[in-house]
Structure 1
């Protein structure tokens, strides 16, 4: 392992030096490709949503085009400091600067917005898989708790935006993709734009058998996004997103299965034919009013519904969530100062019950629902007030002050047990005030920025309850302070863009969900962690000839994260690297574009070994994965455009862990199941037809 690590470090250093040498040596010629914005990797037509001088990273169409249209994790993993561990299409855990790495399943400790509407539930859980990759126009990430207007969560915020309609055009676009594992995907979009009215309606379908046993996936979705002007100063936006998907669950596997045959599913999940079925709907209505040239307001009301059914080997979970809320934001200027202020209220009702799973008595036909084991309801509400003031101290120096006030309340109802065994309880967290101070100094070809901000994370459902389903009264909110210093440069007539950020975040009352059974966790505040690191984004845009453009790029992340104070029973893990976080990560590649419409994308990802236990007794192996995609676009007529593409993922057929389960426990003498294997070498090809009326 040590020799492998040394070779890895040499590879990283060599690749970094090679890329910088290549960038310096290239001929400098002006390029029309869009430029970086803040710590933006690639900017597209959709403007940045982060408030004022708040730094953020954004990827858009040019980045999305590099990958299979089912592979949103690879696209987002192009952003330094952000890493999606993907166990399957429906099993994604997003970590930002190490925050969220200890979450057993799914994503929490950040806040997610879809076209400005919050889509994170009452306990902070977000699901990126609820959105079709091909419907997205941009993904913007605010790293760390400096996102005052978007919740001040320790992990930050992810802002998803749909594609915008082409101005004054009516068009029909169909994208069809086929690939390995019987993968079939289709996205059909109708869009219309005219003066004061924009409409986009999409239908998408995805099905695949998956790389592993028991990993079939099928999804259908509808997306409606329409905007119309209601007056000279006002407009209304209606958003409806509906997703219906069923996904088999192969679950994690042990080291022997991972090394011998990574296509295997966990034996008990295979016997139970475990799966999840979801129906999800988001509806939102937003109104924007321009009071004057100095003041504007956007107010959104929204409703979400999730119906989830999941047979697992240990029980069957049947749940549904109703959520609704309102968000209102004022923006404007007062003299030299720019300001924003507003509020956000979200409330949901979470109903869930568990049943016996009698799959062992079902003659090999998989899961069979038995008697009721538990029946619960939880009412959750969260209220945020926020405000920022940005003031130009000089022509070059600007300062921004932000404040966020959060109040969270949980009301748990045990509908199954009666009398003394009833576990109903209320948990009302104290209001928490979170300040944020940012500075930005503008230079001729770049800028320097700094930030100090406070953030928090609410406990997840698992962390608020004991294994007996009782509210844990000792759980506190996780809090931290983030220090950040960064610089952004655009050189050689904007052909070379470089961003580098240093940060340190001190987190106390660390929330951990300790596994005590196959489906039992107990939440506790386990001490303090220190998150510090470096993030580097570099991109160069040049020409090989008048016909061929090329663009090498890399995003490098150094994570030096550790437990400062972490004692678990008799074990002292203080000083150990933080579980679930690779120390080094690198995304790199090169794009070639010919003026005749031909393009080639070569991409590479390196992920360092990941500690999988708090004692650091076992780690996943580091890995390199390479992808390639070839595309061609041409106009057949004045009304019809045609696009063709074909690609190879995991070119060298590496066996690697695309996600890991930390602190896994083996039950009944079985090996602990740490690994979610990544797909083997696989292929895809697609056809896109665009008809302009």
Structure 2
């Protein structure tokens, strides 16, 4: 583990290590009376009984202990434990996931190194909201449209799982919105403010009627001036989710989301500019205007909706079908052009599931289904005349089709040994028509082929608390629209899909009362035709295939409930979470023009990522959450001549819960971000033109507010 630099960080590190070596966590503590008591020196102590950790994976909810995949769940409480305007702290606590924010609202997410091809947004990862694919037919995912307060839970499956979920090579993330599992009528109003003009308002209400119908409505408003010049954010979201069990064996679910998002993009800085003034936006040069002069930014208005129906045909056979779609109005004034995009997407996912048992010791199930998406994209680029569109540069129509037919079989023997195999036939195609400028080939089709994606996996419980697992799976990730038609305004017909085989073994252990849980994964994934970002002489981006990217990694996580609930101590509860990732990512044979990068560290992937979380509960319902994230240095270009500095990010949030009445609660909270006042860049520009690699993040800053629950 890398050396620590500050005494505060060393103190936190040793505290976390001491906690992890004690005993102890985790999620899902049951409420009510304790299930057992034991005496110690005539003092009666409460023994906390913790529920099994479960995750929605492979068609149903399962215990994580016996799962054949590396997986983790994130609860709404974990999201709310830190700053509620962003998902960064919660997702960055998962080993193998790295989420970045170049400026407020500008997110990137990497799962197992996929950030190499995601200068903007998310690649290689398939994301769902319930059964509805949030990743569109073109491969893009607008995660920044979702309000964190509208999420009930997040379920993460790491490693290629295209046999069941379509094209991906990094993994699958499933977001469960509020409203589908409402157990009591409740509502909340959150108001907060903070440094750099931060203002936040969130309203949420959930209702359940006779256990047959439940719904939620969530609304939010977030505004910020931003730390840097020209980095303001204005975001409005409206979300509603409904679940109707209209008969004993049938239910209908509806989700609708509208988001109106605008954020300014300050642009990257050189090292000299960062040292001079980290708060400046990208300045003008002799050849290009500044980010502020061009009013660089993003405008995104998106409506996303889906409806799902589940029917239990008999006690063994069920059927599920979901229809979903989105409409996006997207604008991006940039330094060199002004882009407009109209995006429409439609999709369907359906499958039959059959479950049976031979006897009490042999249970089996199988699923057969289909998922398909169609996208229509109208993209127009103009000259950017100080934030106003001018002369036409290019106009293209691009349509995408992605489909997957999948089958899975699973057998469980003696409630200990799970064997499963799945196979998906994935297909991805794109057709284009260029309207301007005139080209020799104004239209055409691009096929990324039909590919079989198998997955074979097993899990064996050596005891009631220890399980080992292994899997072999194939990854497949075709280029997205943003890569085929990137900011150089040309259609790249030469890009190929990424493919590879992932080999993985893992171990999970938990104590009998689940107060201590640990998980370990080791994987190897050799990717062919890895997609990498490049920049031309004008600063416009384009993408190329690297011949091979060799990915080896180790991920380990520990959850510990160090102190059981006790109402007479100074510290009434203490939970610990620690996660570490080691990424040994290297280019295989990789040459661009006359530059040979073979054997170099893969761009934008740190060797080490380490996160720690301490959650305290004190008397008078006072809580304190401390999170720490360490990032080792990151190569910022393919030649490995420029690296970002390693850093330690420390965040704290304190809460005070007040019970006003039987139906009215209040929580006061205050937090500090970047407690150590580190100088760091939370999101760097990769292979940046003119050496503008850095997007400085804010120093020490503060926020506070109140949540009213009713």
TM-score (norm 1): 0.91
**1:353 pairs with 2:380:** yes
1:544 is displaced (CA, Å) by 7.5
1:260 is displaced (CA, Å) by 2.8
Q: Which residue in the other structure is 2:110 paired with?
A: 95
Distance in 2, matches of 1:652 and 1:437, equals 46
The farther-off stretch of 141-150 and 525-534 is 141-150
Size of the alignment, in residue pairs? 671
Query: Pairwise mapping of residues 129-528 of structure 1 onto structure 2 (< 5 A)?
Result: 129-146=144-161, 148-164=163-179, 167=182, 169-195=184-210, 196-267=212-283, 268-335=290-357, 336-359=363-386, 367-418=387-438, 420-421=439-440, 423-442=442-461, 443-465=463-485, 469-491=489-511, 493-518=513-538, 520-528=540-548
Q: Which residue in the other structure is 2:19 paired with?
A: 22
1:568 is displaced (CA, Å) by 1.8
Q: Which residue in the other structure is 2:582 paired with?
A: 558
1:147 is displaced (CA, Å) by 5.3
1:517 is displaced (CA, Å) by 4.2
Q: Indicate the SS of the match to 1:134.
A: helix
1:679 is displaced (CA, Å) by 1.9
The farther-off stretch of 259-268 and 511-520 is 511-520
Cα distance per residue 1:37-80 (max 9 Å; x no partner): 4799xxxx987799964331111123212211112112100000
Cα distance per residue 1:302-335 (max 9 Å; x no partner): 1201101121121111111011111112223133
Distance in 2, matches of 1:281 and 1:231, equals 30
1:638 is displaced (CA, Å) by 1.3
Distance in 2, matches of 1:486 and 1:291, equals 36
Residues 85 and 168 of structure 1: CA distance in aligned 2, closer, same or farther (over 3 Å): closer
Give the aligned CA root-mean-square deviation in angstroms.
2.7
Q: Which residue in the other structure is 1:682 paired with?
A: 701
The farther-off stretch of 547-556 and 328-337 is 328-337
Residues 236 and 608 of structure 1: CA distance in aligned 2, closer, same or farther (over 3 Å): same
Greater length-normalized contact order (CA 8 Å, ≥ 6 residues apart) = 2
- The answer to whether the 8 Å contact 2:372/2:401 transfers is yes
Cα distance per residue 1:110-143 (max 9 Å; x no partner): 1110122001122311121110011111111111
TM-score (norm 2): 0.89
- The answer to whether the 8 Å contact 1:560/1:583 transfers is yes
Q: Indicate the SS of the match to 1:100.
A: helix
Distance in 1, matches of 2:80 and 2:679, equals 25
1:522 is displaced (CA, Å) by 3.3
1:660 is displaced (CA, Å) by 0.9
Distance in 2, matches of 1:57 and 1:258, equals 37
Query: Pairwise mapping of residues 583-594 of structure 1 onto structure 2 (< 5 A)?
Result: 583-594=607-618
Distance in 2, matches of 1:468 and 1:357, equals 14
Cα distance per residue 1:342-368 (max 9 Å; x no partner): 111100100010111122xxxxxxx12
Q: Indicate the SS of the match to 1:257.
A: helix
Q: Indicate the SS of the match to 2:88.
A: helix
Distance in 1, matches of 2:541 and 2:239, equals 36
Cα distance per residue 1:419-475 (max 9 Å; x no partner): x54532211222100000111001221211111000111112354358875543432
Q: Indicate the SS of the match to 1:660.
A: coil
**1:641 pairs with 2:668:** no
Distance in 2, matches of 1:630 and 1:473, equals 53
Distance in 2, matches of 1:14 and 1:565, equals 43
Structure 2 residue runs of 5 or longer lacking an equivalent are: 25-44, 284-289, 358-362
Residues 674 and 226 of structure 1: CA distance in aligned 2, closer, same or farther (over 3 Å): same
Q: Which residue in the other structure is 2:286 paired with?
A: none
Distance in 2, matches of 1:50 and 1:396, equals 10
- The answer to whether the 8 Å contact 1:203/1:222 transfers is yes
Cα distance per residue 1:553-579 (max 9 Å; x no partner): 211111111112112222221111111
Q: Which residue in the other structure is 2:592 paired with?
A: 568
- The answer to whether the 8 Å contact 1:123/1:458 transfers is no
1:103 is displaced (CA, Å) by 2.5
Residues 473 and 51 of structure 1: CA distance in aligned 2, closer, same or farther (over 3 Å): farther
Distance in 2, matches of 1:556 and 1:514, equals 30
The farther-off stretch of 141-150 and 287-296 is 141-150
Residues 356 and 141 of structure 1: CA distance in aligned 2, closer, same or farther (over 3 Å): same
Residues 595 and 48 of structure 1: CA distance in aligned 2, closer, same or farther (over 3 Å): farther
Q: Which residue in the other structure is 2:562 paired with?
A: 542
Residues 10 and 437 of structure 1: CA distance in aligned 2, closer, same or farther (over 3 Å): farther
Q: Which residue in the other structure is 1:362 paired with?
A: none
Q: Indicate the SS of the match to 2:274.
A: helix
